[in-house]
Chains A and B, each alone.
Chain A
Amino acid sequence: MSSLSLFLTVFISGVVLVIVGLGIAILLAPQSFNLQKGEPYECGIPTHGTSWMQFKAGYYLYAILYLMFDVETIFLFPWSVVVRDLGYTGLYSILFFIVILGLGLAYAWKKGVLKWS
């Protein structure tokens, strides 16, 4: 209970830092306006098109691979706390798990997902 309220305290202090900081900055900083100022920065020439467009798929593949291992992390953290008590049973069962994931990584590697082109 106490930890949770401390968590909230820290969260609120983070939000307060940003809001108070921005408030002070808006009060103190000068404001001026002209049309050129709001242009996105691009080497000084007028911007060509929007940047909200399709992007390289390579990043996406890494994100999928990451998802696989990230879920694994969630499974492994509780296991890692109790592995002393589980003994060799814990080791064998998780060995099986890790080998399957390793095969997944090896498959992706073989398929050329890890090759940047």
Chain B
Amino acid sequence: MILNYSQPLEISNLTSWFDQYLRSNLSEFWTLLIEFVLVGIFLLAAYAVIALILIYAERKITAFFQARLGPNRVGKWGLLQSVADMIKILLKEIIRINRSDRFLFFAAPFFMIVASMLTFGAIPFGKGLQAIDFNIGVLYVTAVSSLGIIGVLLAGWSSNNKYSMIGAMRSGAQFISYELSSGFALMTIVVLAGTMQFSQMIEGQRFCWNIFNGHISSIIAFVIYLISGHAETNRGPFDLPEAESELTAGYHTEYSGLQFGFYYLAEYLNMFIIASIATTVFLGGYLPIQIQGWDAFNGIMGYIPSYVWFFSKTGFLIFLSLWVRWSFPRLRIDQLLNLEWKYLLPINLVNLLLMVILVLTGLTLKNLFGIL
């Protein structure tokens, strides 16, 4: 039995009311135009705000792991620190490099930002809060997020700097390798869910999240996705493309001012995107925790708005990623590629077949206990 709770705090109530209001007063064309412009503005605002919050959160949590205070001067508890940083980075000069490839140097940040923006638009933040809902959602996300690596390679190549070049090459090898793993891990869940559309995938998880539904196979896929997603964002133990002790800053060594800021922004947003896709695909997205038969419990959990669930699950995964980042030493490039090609990829292929067998023999959790 699926219980439908009317949720007064849901944003989708507001948006559908606004849509009807516009439609009753304006023609179809103007309604759609206004809505598209609003979607664009909302996404830009969310993009900037989430990046600011993440930068602040990362600095505070890092400080906590390293037993120090972190930012505490600007604003109460240093809350305005990342705003101050943003203003500072806007006021910095954009330096032109001699002997660089001007056009590619200029074009590279576009790839980074647009790739992360397109992925960002496909994330369901809450019930009805999703801009792009293609029926090939998972494939779309995998395809579009991999455009970002073009920006990294262009940046490294066009700077005419040896550090940038080495950083970009390392980053390219790392990104394309780990993209395979994340693609296969998502594919394992597509087999279980039987759909690639995010909204349908979430609705299918109402009483049983995918990570529990496919038990062994799903958990393996989840761990692999977290590892490879972590590696794709060039963070934590996998940050050797921008290993500051050997390569100064890797592929964005020559960038200054806001152009550097764009790389920084895209890096933080990619962390958020990886966590939110893991949430959507494995952990039930914006759905609350629901247990079959516990009606009172379900009622209380269902009363919490969907976007709160989404952001708390994503926040938990981001915290996990920061925890990993500050707990492990940096890998060497051969260790990094070995981990992918000799361990994760073969495990992934076997895991995919295991999931198919689980689905075909009906050994998934939903079938075993007759839920739904």
| Chain A contacts to B: CB under 8 angstroms | 2-3, 5-7, 9-18, 21-22, 24-26, 28-32, 37-42, 47, 50-52, 55-56, 58-59, 62-63, 65-66, 69-70, 73, 76-77, 80-81, 83-84, 87-88, 90-91, 94-95, 98, 101-102, 105, 109, 114-116
- Give me the 7 closest cross-chain CB pairs, A-B, nearest first: A116-B334, A14-B117, A10-B121, A38-B98, A13-B40, A14-B114, A25-B258
Does B84 lie at the interface of the complex (its beta carbon under 8 Å from any beta carbon of A)?
A: no
Q: What are 14 A-B contacts defined by CB distance under 8 Å?
A: A9-B37, A10-B120, A10-B132, A18-B109, A21-B261, A29-B92, A40-B98, A40-B162, A51-B162, A51-B165, A62-B173, A77-B190, A80-B352, A83-B360
Residue numbers in B under 8 Å from A84 (CB-CB) = 191, 194, 359-360
Contact of A37 with B195 in the complex, beta carbons under 8 Å: no
Q: How far is the CA of A111 from the CA of B9 in the complex (A)?
A: 60
B137–chain A nearest beta-carbon distance, Å? 10
Q: Which of A13, A37, A41, A59 makes the CB contact (< 8 A) with B248? A: A41
Does B81 lie at the interface of the complex (its beta carbon under 8 Å from any beta carbon of A)?
A: no
Which of B11-19, B65-73, B153-161, B270-278 faces chain A? B153-161
A102–chain B nearest beta-carbon distance, Å? 6
Q: How far is the CA of A9 from the CA of B248 in the complex (A)?
A: 37
Contact of A11 with B118 in the complex, beta carbons under 8 Å: yes
Does B43 lie at the interface of the complex (its beta carbon under 8 Å from any beta carbon of A)?
A: yes
B235–chain A nearest beta-carbon distance, Å? 20
Task: From known contacts A15-B110, A25-B94, A69-B180, infer whether A80 and B163 are also in contact, taking CB-CB under 8 Å.
Answer: no
Contact of A16 with B40 in the complex, beta carbons under 8 Å: yes
Contact of A73 with B169 in the complex, beta carbons under 8 Å: no
Does B39 lie at the interface of the complex (its beta carbon under 8 Å from any beta carbon of A)?
A: yes
Task: From known contacts A29-B92, A62-B176, infer whether A15 and B114 are also in contact, taking CB-CB under 8 Å.
Answer: yes
B190–chain A nearest beta-carbon distance, Å? 4
Q: How many positions in chain B have a CB within 8 Å of any CB in the partner chain? A: 83
| Chain B contacts to A: CB under 8 angstroms | 32, 36-37, 39-41, 43-44, 47, 90-100, 109-110, 113-114, 116-118, 120-121, 131-134, 136, 138-139, 142, 157, 159-165, 169, 172-173, 176-177, 179-180, 183-184, 187, 190-191, 194-196, 248, 253-254, 257-259, 261-262, 333-334, 337-338, 341-342, 345-346, 349, 352-353, 356-357, 359-360
In the complex, which residue of chain B has the Cβ closest to the Cβ of A69?
B180
Q: How far is the CA of A25 from the CA of B259 in the complex (A)?
A: 9
Residue numbers in B under 8 Å from A31 (CB-CB) = 93
In the complex, which residue of chain A has the Cβ closest to the Cβ of B130?
A6
Interface of B is mostly: helix
Residue numbers in A under 8 Å from B345 (CB-CB) = 69, 105
B19–chain A nearest beta-carbon distance, Å? 12
Q: Which of B118, B157, B163, B258 makes the CB contact (< 8 A) with A52? A: B157
Residue numbers in A under 8 Å from B169 (CB-CB) = 55-56, 59
Q: How far is the CA of A112 from the CA of B32 in the complex (A)?
A: 57
Contact of B177 with A62 in the complex, beta carbons under 8 Å: yes
Contact of A10 with B160 in the complex, beta carbons under 8 Å: no
Contact of B183 with A73 in the complex, beta carbons under 8 Å: yes
Contact of B338 with A114 in the complex, beta carbons under 8 Å: yes
Contact of A73 with B131 in the complex, beta carbons under 8 Å: no
Q: How far is the CA of A21 from the CA of B164 in the complex (A)?
A: 23
Q: Which of B113, B165, B190 makes the CB contact (< 8 A) with A55? A: B165
A108–chain B nearest beta-carbon distance, Å? 8
Q: How far is the CA of A100 from the CA of B41 in the complex (A)?
A: 48
Task: From known contacts A51-B160, A52-B160, infer whether A29 and B91 are also in contact, taking CB-CB under 8 Å.
Answer: yes
In the complex, which residue of chain A has the Cβ closest to the Cβ of B335?
A116
Contact of A14 with B118 in the complex, beta carbons under 8 Å: yes
Task: From known contacts A18-B113, A91-B357, infer whether A6 and B39 are also in contact, taking CB-CB under 8 Å.
Answer: yes
Contact of B159 with A40 in the complex, beta carbons under 8 Å: yes
Q: Which of B134, B163, B184, B195 makes the CB contact (< 8 A) with A81? A: B195
Task: A37-B95, A95-B353 given; name 9 further pairs at CB < 8 Å.
Answer: A11-B114, A14-B118, A18-B113, A22-B94, A25-B258, A30-B93, A40-B99, A83-B191, A83-B360
Residue numbers in A under 8 Å from B162 (CB-CB) = 40, 42, 51
Contact of B337 with A22 in the complex, beta carbons under 8 Å: no
Contact of B176 with A18 in the complex, beta carbons under 8 Å: no
Q: How far is the CA of A24 from the CA of B94 in the complex (A)?
A: 11
Task: From known contacts A21-B262, A116-B337, infer whether A50 and B131 are also in contact, taking CB-CB under 8 Å.
Answer: no
Contact of A59 with B173 in the complex, beta carbons under 8 Å: yes
Q: Which of A39, A50, A81, A116 makes the CB contact (< 8 A) with B190? A: A81
